[in-house]
Amino acid sequence: MSPQITPIADTAQDLELSERILNPDGSRIANPRLDPFVADVDAEQLRSLLRDMVILRRIDAEGVALQRQGQLGLWAPCQGQEATQIGTARAIAAQDFVFPSYRETGVIYARGAQPGDYVRMWRGEEGAAYDPAALGVAPLQIIIGAQTLHAVGYALGIQHDGADEVAVTYFGDGATSQGDVNEAMIFAASYQAPVVFVCQNNHWAISEPVAVQSQYPIAGRAPGFGIPSVRVDGNDILACMAAMRWALEHARSGKGPAYIEAVTYRMGPHTTADDPTRYRDEAELESWRRRDPIARLEAHLRATGALTDEHQAETQAAADVVAKEMRAACLGMVTRPPLAVFDGVYAEPHTGLDRQRGEYAAYLASFESEASA
């Protein structure tokens, strides 16, 4: 019998009352609600989760560097949110389908993204960074909160087909103020759709602090729609994994949607077009550095004798290899011919698209005519 998980009614800023398993110093505490969901996670698995987070942070740093060097048009950093993304994503089954926002680099990494998949869209080469069918992940969504509606629609399809799948959608605290997110929750609850909502509360909706738009925990909103929820420390990878396992079990068993609020922090800018020093206090940033999710798991593994210098060196070397491959893939990309923009728009031939292709071809040809005149 799975333990019942309920939301916690505390202020939006109070991380200390969020559910956790690992303290910021790495010490483990008993959590009767969450512990059963990660009872099988041993030292080897914890080292693997640490490796994932280190690699993700290295990918993220490379993405920022590539943008600063003019190789990418934009990058949405996820530094500080590694535990939330890796912890939840590693709990998702292969047959489940994910609907991310633009910041879920760690989720696509966990789903098997290849080096070029991290940068293809940000470089402007493709509308989708990867093959959604291959990863089981919808294209990164730029429109705030729109992916939640897509996830619920997909979940209704799962329900109609009687499939053993769950739709999972990720969004930030700022997106919870969007109509799309609330409409998605209404539909999910009304039809008991098998969907998991994951809110990464990273405290900043661009330059607006979460306390302005949410005076109480965001997880507390879900029960108002009839959706059970849990609020966890998003920098505790075990708590994040446990919460996702609970939510997936709930949705997969026919009980309807579930909701997770992972309280974490965006250490970098909203995107590389943002300057967080204009609105964020350095003291706040420093306080969150002391809650670093990677340092927390490292401290835990060190304290239990499960992590050596050799382990860490091998992990860092692996992270550098991934970053090198990502950079090489980015710099080696060849821009497709202009008319290729029409490829793959529809599964079957479409006369309207053919007409547009012809008009665009004539437009491009006009430049050649002018040049030869």
Which residues are the active-site residues?
266, 270, 279
Residue of 150, 231, 137 whose CA lies nearest to 183: 150
Measuring CA to CA, how many Å separate 281 from each of 267, 276, 277, 354? 12, 9, 7, 54
Whether 6 contacts 18, CB under 8 Å: no
CA distance 271 to 354: 37
Dist. CA 51–CA 44, nearest whole Å: 11
User: If residue 242 lies in a helix (H) or strand (E), which one and from where to where?
Assistant: helix 237-252
Burial class of residue 163 in the structure, from the number of CB atoms within 10 Å of its CB (0-12 exposed, 13-18 middle, 19+ buried): exposed
Q: What percent helix, strand, coil does the chain show, rounded to 5?
A: 50, 10, 40
Question: Which tokens is 238 given?
Answer: 């075990």
